[in-house]
Amino acid sequence: MVPSTSRPSYFPAHGDDGYRVEHYDLSLDYRVGPNRLGGVARLSGRALRPLNRLSLDLGAFRVDGVLLDGRAARFVHRGGKLHVSHKAARRVEPGPFTVEVRYAGSPRPVTSHWGELGWEQLTDGVIVASQPIGASSWFPCNDRPDDKAVYRISVTAASPYTVIANGELTAKRRAASATTWVYEQREPMASYLASVQIGRYQQAELGARTRLAFPAGLASKVRNDFGRQNQMMAVFSERFGAYPFGSYTAVVVDDELEIPVEAQGMSIFGLNHVDGRRGEERLVAHELAHQWFGNSLTISDWRDIWLHEGFASYAEWIWSEASGGEPADQHAVRWHRRLSALPQDFVLADPGARRLFDDRVYKRGALTLHAFRRVLGDLAFFALLREWTTANRHRNVTTDMFLDLALQYTTHSFDGLFTSWLYGSRLPPLP
């Protein structure tokens, strides 16, 4: 019924399917001015088959030493890969292993077709935005979305700076002029969603689980523009199921950003996304929705990115109608007209690596969901979304999985209609 998705990955040079990481323990020391990072990364994982070596993704750092299962290991670091093997001529056998990597240098983002990815200096601080292949810019990892692990992230920086990372703050220690911040991310997380934000931030709580971090000069505008996050959380929890993490932090950096970016339990906005009039509130909704669609439910392969961006874009329309704005139907009709005028050469469920962030991934993805909603009706459609997020909480997902579930919610034979939205190049008419 559905075309095979067993084709090669969009990024075959990234990640290794021979093992899985179960836990990352990252201890980082960062100096903002000279952009110097020293790190110790301890990875606990499991080999899935006999391996001559473990291959990790790691950027242009100096590697000072590697331990494999507690013993000094052989390693070769070149071309963005750190290859690790036992000194004795023996393989890594199936089962548990540990790797410890000591490294240092000046982190720099990974260059890509979509710009620079990963660890990037701000005017006064750091932003980390790694989607899809930028995690190696700051720590050794298995950089593929289907290898989710839990994390401990410890960062030491000069005391005037606030450090925000994934998960919950479990310790904060000041010594002389530096402060160490320790975060625990207990829900499994893909490497590209791991993030550290460093800046001179004020922090505020909007509710028990929603927080803000922002430059002091933007305080009043930020509080207004992000002031309805609790209401968004309530709407999305009703439509999509329970919020999947312990808390949520929106960070506004003191620089302009082209687009906001999501990380697990966190979203990052530029000062250009704040105007004091909620002019960019749709983006606030979009990034919050990624906590369900992208961060809890994470695609197994990048060709299915519509399961992240299409759902988050549709959440903008859901928030619009829930908050007294235009209903989703009006958004859908307008965007269908716009996409109909574009070349009909786009396959939503396999857009190609260069089109991962094409606007059609976002808007045709949202239109696809609206088409499903029109066919199923609101009651069944939102029941489908809640089952989708609940059954796959903190797991990896595929388009095939979603389509199989959607077809269980109708007694009619709509598989041809559904697959035309996902696998046909021509935009179908709205039902």
Helix axes 281-289, 306-322, angle to 10 degrees: 130
Position of tokens 């980390």?
A: 128
Q: Which CATH superfamily is domain 14-107+129-191 in?
A: tricorn interacting facor f3 domain (2.60.40.1730)
Q: Residue 45's beta-bridge partner residues?
A: 21, 97
Answer positive or negative: Cα dihedral of 388, 392, 393, 396. Answer: negative
Instruction: Note the CATH architecture for domain 201-291.
Output: 2-Layer Sandwich (3.30)
- Give the pairing of strands 298-299 and 396-397: parallel
**pLDDT digits 0-9 by tens, 201-250:** 999 999 888 999 999 999 999 999 999 999 999 999 999 999 999 999 99
Strand, helix or coil for residue 369:
helix
Sorted by where each begins, the domain ranges of the chain are 14-107+129-191, 201-291, 298-423
What does the pLDDT read at residue 1? 36
What does the pLDDT read at residue 207? 86
- Residue 419, class by beta-carbon neighbours within 10 Å (0-12 exposed, 13-18 middle, 19+ buried)? middle
What does the pLDDT read at residue 7? 53
- Report residue 272 as tokens: 């250009």
Tell me, yes or no, if the pTM score tops 0.85.
Answer: yes
**pLDDT digits 0-9 by tens, 15-39:** 999 999 999 999 999 999 999 999 9
- Percent of the chain exceeding pLDDT 90 equals 94
The DSSP line for 220-286 is: HHHHHHTTTHHHHHHHHHHHH-S-SSS-EEEEE-SS--SS-EEETTEEEE-GGG--SS-TTHHHHHH
Question: Distances in Å between the alpha carbon of 306 and those of 243, 338, 358?
Answer: 20, 18, 10
What does the pLDDT read at residue 316? 98
What residues in the chain have per-residue pLDDT under 70?
Answer: 1-8
Query: Under the phi-then-psi rule, with left for phi > 0, alpha for psi from -120 to 50, and beta for the rest, what region is 352?
Result: left
- Percent of the chain exceeding pLDDT 70 equals 98
Instruction: Note the CATH architecture for domain 298-423.
Output: Orthogonal Bundle (1.10)
Position of tokens 């989703």?
A: 328
By C-alpha distance, which of 163, 195, 137, 129 is closest to 32?
163
**pLDDT digits 0-9 by tens, 118-162:** 999 999 999 999 999 999 999 999 999 999 999 999 999 999 999
What does the pLDDT read at residue 413? 73
